[in-house]
């Protein structure tokens, strides 16, 4: 037994923890009856990969094959996105989809069906899976794809690890000329401006905004839109970049060695941070060439940044609301958040494109993600926000969630009922895939 | 292209060491007891680094076969890293003679046997470097794991002597004492984070240590001092402690 938690350090539990190197070892572990869930690199925020018994997938991390004509990569599910980048960027390939951290496993990326700054163009991770192998609770292995065992594929993509343990996956990497991004930043002084800017950025492959949730009144929603394209060699200007277009200089890695005391994060320190970030960008539109790490993974440069929230832990409230409800809905919800004064250190706004999948989080509309230190006040606020999100026809992201209740899940995920039945069927037998989250939101008992 | 031979290549530490050498552009020969576990490891390194990787079956306790096995290598290594080992739960098996023998055979006799063969070849060629994974458990016998500890103490003494013999000939021998490591042996244990090295940290320490010709490497610096203190506790006090 040992203490274990996901990225938000809330909740922290005691669990029986073990890993595996081979499918035979995994099969032997699944013979032990009871509830069990896969745990990748612990970057989901809440309790989606927590259970009394946990199977660590990180050791199952071998690259199996790569086709340098097509970019098709087959690897085991414990491989980190960062490992893929370390190996393949220098050879001119990039991930088809990446969230804001590269410290997640391929299995986790599929189970949470993660999205990135290119969702409006390329969809979520699940759209790029050509085929994958998944081990069921009885030790059998199912090969599935959008055409082979499609129903099983559909409950596995975005299925939060409840259909089985993803063993390996094949997907196509994206060809790039350089390791750099041609980035354009646009400063927007309020919510209307940023939404206009998003809607005018549909042709850009990548777009995301950092929004200052503490700005009130006329300035509410003031933000910086960052949009980008993979730079071509002719985009590069600096001699250093031109000489080694696929090998960016690694930036400095900083670390947070210990949990910060609770008082380190307060409205004043957060306001200072948000203001500094906003003012770093001058008004108007600006272009620059930056390496992919700075563009996609600014927070990965600080190891264990979750420790700034101290021992009590934190959660990230990420919701999406349909585009029709977007302007009014986002204004109402944002106002409630700014009025609460519990506002967050980091808030990210993004316009999703269409999404057609069984259980995944994205939908055509606006998504906002905010960090909150765990507190009773914040928990009360979330209840209020849940009601608003549900009213607008939106939902919460399971990969970030640690506290939504079953009614909220039921109301906001249209296939909740069907999903529950499918998982119940798959889980027949002595061993069940089930997480603390799936129990809390009523998918598993 | 330089070649490294890793003995016991399926452990987490050895896999991290292999990745490090592969990333530095070395060719690899991986040897381990369970050859079927080696294939995906070798395949992975080939996809990652586009380098040559050979695999072979190696049984640390099949002493009489060590010379033949080493002589059969088509590429003779520039560096040999011996990373195999065996540790059981001593509370369960402390009176089990078979397990005691196995602990000594793998951790000491197997190491001494295979490294003697390697040393002979390096001596003839006049170049080469050896690193072997020993343990802080060998620095002083403690009640919780003195059987394993004594085998590792023997190994540390063996390596020290071998280093002494080969140093004038330009051949370097390095002893590695990892301390706590986050590996499959310890994944269900709560370890003090500050004292626990990841396999990657150990791999870096081994690679850098050999580059700098260090003699004894504790992967995390505090361990050198922790063991220094433990070694110097007077026996009358030490024997009453629970360690």
Residues A140 and A75 in one domain: yes
A16 part of a folded domain: no
Q: Cβ A1–B40 below 8 Å, yes or no? A: no
Cβ contact B47–A66 (<8 Å)? yes
How many domains, in total, are found in chain A? 2
Q: Of B71-80, B93-102, B147-156, which range is least confident?
A: B93-102
- Cα A245 to Cα A291, A301, A343, B75, B214, distances in angstroms: 10, 21, 40, 35, 36
User: A168 lies in which domain range?
Assistant: 63-176
Tell me the C-alpha distance between B25 and B46, whole Å: 11
Distance (Å) from the alpha carbon of B190 to chain A's nearest alpha carbon: 5
Cβ of A2 under 8 Å from any chain B Cβ? yes
CB contacts, 8 Å: B184 with chain A: 19, 21, 59
Same domain, A364 and A259: yes
Strand segments, DSSP code E, in B34-128 are 53-57, 79-82
Q: Which residues does residue A288 pair with via DSSP β-bridges, in sequence order?
A: A183
By C-alpha distance, the chain A residue nearest B42 is: A62
Cα nearest neighbour of A72 on chain B? B47
d(CA B213, nearest CA chain A) in Å: 27
The reported pLDDT for the residue numbered A273 is 59
Residue A355 has, within 13 A of its CA and on its CB side, a CA count of 31
Length of chain A: 445
Q: What is the pLDDT of residue A286?
A: 87
Out of A176, A209, A243, a domain closes at: A176
Q: Are residues A68 and A212 in the same domain?
A: no
Domain with A76 in it: what CATH number? 3.30.465.10
A52 touches chain B (CB under 8 A): no
Question: CB of A28 within 8 Å of any CB in chain B?
Answer: no
Structure tokens given for A374: 């765990």
Residue B34, pLDDT above cutoff 80: yes
Q: Does A58 touch chain B (CB under 8 A)?
A: no
Q: Which class in CATH covers the domain with range B3-238? A: alpha beta
**If you measure CA to CA, which chain B residue comes closest to A89?**
B48
The whole-angstrom distance between A77's CA and the closest CA on chain B is 13
**Residue B107 has what DSSP assignment?**
I
Task: State mean pLDDT over B177-194.
Answer: 79
Closest CB from B48, B49, B188 relative to A2: B188
Give me the phi and psi of B117, to 5 degrees please.
Answer: -65, -45
At B220 the pLDDT is 79
Q: Does A250 touch chain B (CB under 8 A)?
A: no
* Band of pLDDT at residue B108, cut at 50, 70 and 90: very high
Question: Rg of the Cα trace of chain B?
Answer: 18
* CA of residue B210 relative to chain centroid, distance: 13
Listed as ranges, residues in chain A with pLDDT below 70 are 249-281, 343, 345-346
Q: Which of A53, A55, A63 to mutate to test the interface with B (most CBs of B within 10 A)?
A: A63
Q: What is the pLDDT of residue B230?
A: 83
Q: Do residue A152 and residue A249 come from a single domain? A: no
A17 touching chain B per CB within 8 A? yes
Say if residue A311 is in the same domain as residue A285. yes
Q: Do B187 and A66 touch (CB under 8 A)?
A: no
**What distance in Å separates residue B200's CA from the closest CA in chain A?**
13
d(CA A388, CA A306): 28
Q: Which of A1, A2, A25 to mutate to test the interface with B (most CBs of B within 10 A)?
A: A2
Residue A23 lies in a domain: no
Cβ distance B175 to B166 under 8 Å? no
Decide: A23 and A134 in contact? Cβ < 8 Å: no
Chain B residue numbers with beta carbons less than 8 Å from the beta carbon of A87 are 47-49
Looking at residue A79, what is its pLDDT?
98
Residue B144, pLDDT > 90, answer no
Residues paired with A251 in a beta bridge: none
- pLDDT > 90 fraction of chain B, expressed in percent and rounded: 72
Say whether residue B229 is in contact with chain A using an 8 A CB cutoff.
Answer: no
Q: What is the pLDDT of residues B113-125, one digit of tens each?
A: 999 999 999 999 9
Predicted model pTM: 0.89
Q: Which of B43, B184, B190 sits opposite A62 (nearest CB)?
A: B43
Q: What is the CATH number of the domain that holds A202?
A: 3.30.70.2520
B56 min Cα distance to partner chain A (Å): 19
A62 with B184: Cβ contact below 8 A:
no
A372 and A228 together in one domain: yes
Note whether A133 and A197 are same-domain residues: no
Q: State which of A158, A176, A194 marks the end of a domain.
A: A176
Inter-chain contacts counted by CB atoms under 8 A, chains A and B:
40
Same domain, A159 and A241: no
Question: Residue A87: its pLDDT value, please?
Answer: 93
Dihedral over Cα of A172, A176, A181, A186: its sign? negative
pLDDT the model gives residue B95: 87
The mean pLDDT value for B202-216 works out to: 95
For position B40, what pLDDT does the model report?
93
pLDDT score, position B36? 86
The verdict on A360 and A211 lying in the same domain is: yes
* Position A243 in a domain: yes
CB contact under 8 A, B187 and A18: yes
Residue B89: band (very low, low, confident or very high) from pLDDT cuts 50, 70, 90: confident
Is the domain of A219 the same as that of A353?
yes
Q: Minimum mean pLDDT among A33-37, A49-53, B182-186, B211-215: which range?
A: B182-186
Give the C-alpha separation, A298 to A303, whole Å: 11
Q: Which element (helix H / strand E) includes A82? A: helix A81-88
Based on the fold, state whether residues A367 and A397 are members of the same structural domain. yes
pLDDT at residue B22 tops 80: yes
List the helix and strand counts (H, then E) for chain B.
Answer: 10, 9
Instruction: For residue B48, give the chain A residue with the closest CA.
Output: A87
Residue A431 C-alpha from the chain's centroid: 28
Residue A225 resides in a domain:
yes
The C-alpha atoms of residue A332 and residue A353 are separated, in whole angstroms, by: 22
| One domain for residues A124 and A207 | no
């Amino acid at each position: 037994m040992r203490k274990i938690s996901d990225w938000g350090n809330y909740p922290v539990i005691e669990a029986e923890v073990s890993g595996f190197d081979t499918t035979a070892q995994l099969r032997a572990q699944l013979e032990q009856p009871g509830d069990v869930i896969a745990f990748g690199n612990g970057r989901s925020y809440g309790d989606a990969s927590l259970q009394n018994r946990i199977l660590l997938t990180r050791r199952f991390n071998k690259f199996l094959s790569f086709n340098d004509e097509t970019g098709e990569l087959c690897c085991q599910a414990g491989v980190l996105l960062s490992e893929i980048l370390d190996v393949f960027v220098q050879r001119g390939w990039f991930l088809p989809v990446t969230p804001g951290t590269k410290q997640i496993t391929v299995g986790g990326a599929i189970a949470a069906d993660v999205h990135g700054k290119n969702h409006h163009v390329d969809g979520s991770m699940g759209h790029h899976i050509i085929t994958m192998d998944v081990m069921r609770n009885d030790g059998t292995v199912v090969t599935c794809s959008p055409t082979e065992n499609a129903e099983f594929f559909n409950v596995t993509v975005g299925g939060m690890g409840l259909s089985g343990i993803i063993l390996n996956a094949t997907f196509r990497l994206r060809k790039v000329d350089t390791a750099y991004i041609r980035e354009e930043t646009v400063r927007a002084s309020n919510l209307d401006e940023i939404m206009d800017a998003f809607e005018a950025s549909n042709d850009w492959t990548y777009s995301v905004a950092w929004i200052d949730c503490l700005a009130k009144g006329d300035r509410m929603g003031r933000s910086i839109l960052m949009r980008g394209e993979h730079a071509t060699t002719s985009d590069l200007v600096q001699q250093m970049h031109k000489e080694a277009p696929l090998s960016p200089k690694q930036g400095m890695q900083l670390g947070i060695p210990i949990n910060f005391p609770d008082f380190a994060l307060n409205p004043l320190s957060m306001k200072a941070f948000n203001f500094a970030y906003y003012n770093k960008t001058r008004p108007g539109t600006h272009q620059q060439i930056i390496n992919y790490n700075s563009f996609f993974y600014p927070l990965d440069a600080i190891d264990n940044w979750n420790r700034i929230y101290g021992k009590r832990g934190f959660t990230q409230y990420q919701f999406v609301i349909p585009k029709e409800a977007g302007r009014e809905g986002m204004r109402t919800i944002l106002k409630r958040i700014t009025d609460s004064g519990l506002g967050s250190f980091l808030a990210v706004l993004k316009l999703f494109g269409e999404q057609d999948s069984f259980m995944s989080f994205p939908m055509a509309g606006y998504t906002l993600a905010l960090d909150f230190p765990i507190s009773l006040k914040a928990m009360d606020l979330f209840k209020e926000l849940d009601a608003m999100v549900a009213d607008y026809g939106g939902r919460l992201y399971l990969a970030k969630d640690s506290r939504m209740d079953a009614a909220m899940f039921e109301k906001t995920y249209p296939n909740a009922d069907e999903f529950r039945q499918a998982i119940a069927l798959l889980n027949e037998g002595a061993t069940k895939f089930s997480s603390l989250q799936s129990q809390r939101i009523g998918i598993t008992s | 292209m330089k070649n490294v031979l890793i003995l016991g290549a399926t452990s987490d530490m050895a896999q991290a060491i292999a990745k490090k050498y592969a990333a530095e552009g070395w060719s690899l020969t991986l040897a381990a007891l369970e050859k079927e576990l080696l294939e995906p490891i070798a395949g992975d390194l080939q996809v990652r680094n586009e380098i040559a990787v050979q695999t072979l079956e190696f049984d640390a306790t099949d002493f009489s076969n060590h010379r033949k096995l080493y002589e059969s290598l088509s590429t003779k290594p520039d560096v040999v890293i011996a990373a195999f080992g065996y540790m059981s739960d001593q509370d369960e098996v402390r009176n089990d003679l078979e397990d005691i023998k196995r602990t000594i055979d793998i951790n000491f006799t197997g190491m001494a046997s295979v490294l003697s063969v390697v040393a002979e070849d390096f001596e003839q060629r006049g170049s080469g470097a050896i690193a072997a994974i020993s343990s802080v458990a060998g620095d002083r016998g403690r009640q919780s794991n003195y059987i394993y500890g004594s085998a590792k103490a023997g190994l540390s003494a063996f390596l020290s002597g071998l280093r002494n013999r080969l140093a004038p000939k330009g051949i370097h021998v390095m002893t590695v004492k990892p301390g706590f490591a986050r590996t499959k042996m310890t994944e269900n244990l709560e370890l003090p984070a500050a004292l626990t090295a990841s396999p990657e940290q150990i791999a870096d320490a081994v690679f850098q240590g050999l580059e700098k010709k260090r003699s004894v490497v504790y992967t995390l610096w505090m361990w050198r001092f922790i063991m220094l203190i433990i070694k110097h506790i007077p026996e009358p006090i030490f024997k009453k402690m629970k360690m």
